[in-house]
Amino acid sequence: MIPIPAISAANHDFKRGIQAGLSIAIGYLPIAFTYGLLAKSSGLSLLETVGMSIIVFAGASQYIALSMIAAGTGAFEIIITAFIMNIRHLLMSASLNEKMEEDTKWRKAVYGFLITDETFSVAATRTERKLASSFMLGLGLTAYGSWVINSGIGYLIGAGLPETIQAGMAVALYAMFIGLLVPSAKKSSKVILLAGTAALLNSLFSLYEPLSGGWGIILSTIISAAGIEFLMKEEAHGN
C-alpha cells in the first residue's frame, strides 16, 4: 500500500489490519454460512442466530451449542462447555499482550473481544516487533464482519453451497494456518519443533475423548511452549 502522508498513522494501521484480515474473512465464510444453516434447522430465529454470532463470536462453541440445543441440553451445561472450549483464549490473550503496543485498558478491552484462533494467529505471526491497537481492530473487525454477516446469509439462503465447493472450503482456515506458520518455520528450526511437538501431542490427545476439543489444544500448547523453552535453556547451559 502506498503511504499517504495525509492519513493518520492509526488510520493507516487500521487499513493494514483490514488487509491482513481478508484471508480470515474468506475462511470464515463457509463456516459461518453452515452455522446459519444449522441454526435454522435447529429451530433458532434469525435474530437468535445472528445474535449469537454477534455476542459470542466463537465458531466451535456456537456449533456445539446448536447440537446441544437440538439434543435438549440445559443452558447451564452449554455455557460451561463454551467456557471450556474457550479457555485457550487465556493463553492467546497473554501471548498477544507481549506483542501489542501500550494502550488504555478500555481500548484493550475492545479489541480483546475480537481474539479468535484465527485473528490471534495472524497477529502473533506478524514480523513487526510491536502491533498497533488499530491494526488489531481492523483485523478483528474484518473477521467479525464476515462471521456475523455470513451467519445471517446462511440462515436466509437456507441451502448449502454446492458440495464440491463445500468440500474445498473446509480446508480454508487450515490452509491459512499453514500459510502463517511456514514463513516463520523457514527461518527457524525452533518454530518447526514447537509446532511439530504440539501437533503430535494434540493428535495423541484427540484419541482420548475427554481431551478432544478445547483441553487438548491447551495442554499440547503449554507442554510444547514450556517444554521446548526448558530443553533449549538446558542445551544452552550444556554448551
Partner 1 sequence: METNLLWMIAGMGVVTYLPRVLPLIALDTAIIPQKWQSILKNVPFAILGALIFPGILHINEGSMWYGIVGAGIALLSSWLNWNIILVVLSSVLAVSLFSFLGL
- Rule CB under 8 A: which of 4-23 touch partner 1? 22-23
Nearer to partner 1, 6 or 94 (CB): 94
Q: Which stretch binds partner 1 (CB under 8 A): 9-17, 145-153, 218-226?
A: 218-226
Q: Between residue 86 and residue 125, which ones bind partner 1 under the rule CB under 8 A?
A: 86-98, 100, 105, 108-109, 112-113, 115, 117, 120-121, 124-125
Work out whether 198 is an interface residue with partner 1 (CB under 8 A). yes
Q: Between residue 44 and residue 73, which ones bind partner 1 under the rule CB under 8 A?
A: 44-45, 47-48, 51-52, 55-58, 61, 65, 69
Work out whether 139 is an interface residue with partner 1 (CB under 8 A). no
Min. distance of Cβ 32 from partner 1 in angstroms? 15
Work out whether 143 is an interface residue with partner 1 (CB under 8 A). no
Contact 101, 133 (CB under 8 A): yes
Work out whether 147 is an interface residue with partner 1 (CB under 8 A). no
Distance, CA of 71 to CA of 74 (rounded, Å):
9
Work out whether 181 is an interface residue with partner 1 (CB under 8 A). yes
Min. distance of Cβ 187 from partner 1 in angstroms? 11
